[in-house]
Amino acid sequence: MNAFHVVGGLLAVWAVVVSFLGITREGFPNTDLAERVVSIVSVVLVIGSIGTAVYTGANEHHEETPEGEETALVVPL
């Protein structure tokens, strides 16, 4: 597991919670402060997810095949 899985999972849970609250409570978020907090948490989680995805992709270790060896793509049906 890497950082993207953690932050992406938190973003997904946050999205479900905010959606649930928005559907069940009219006028959610009720105050300007609550609106700012929801917005800030959402932006931080989105930026964190994007950042960790880019970092993970850039630092991912690729398996190298020995020279002269061919590889094949197998698609299960």
Kindly report, residue by residue over 16-58, the tens digit of the pLDDT.
Answer: 999 999 999 999 999 999 999 999 999 999 999 999 999 998 8
Say which DSSP state 26 is in. Answer: T
Statement: residue 62 has pLDDT above 70:
no
Query: Global pTM?
Result: 0.74
Residues in Cβ contact with 41 at an 8 Å cutoff, skipping those fewer than 6 apart: 14
Would residue 67 be called left, alpha or beta, if left means φ above 0 and alpha means ψ between -120 and 50 degrees?
A: beta
Domain segments of the chain as ranges: 3-58
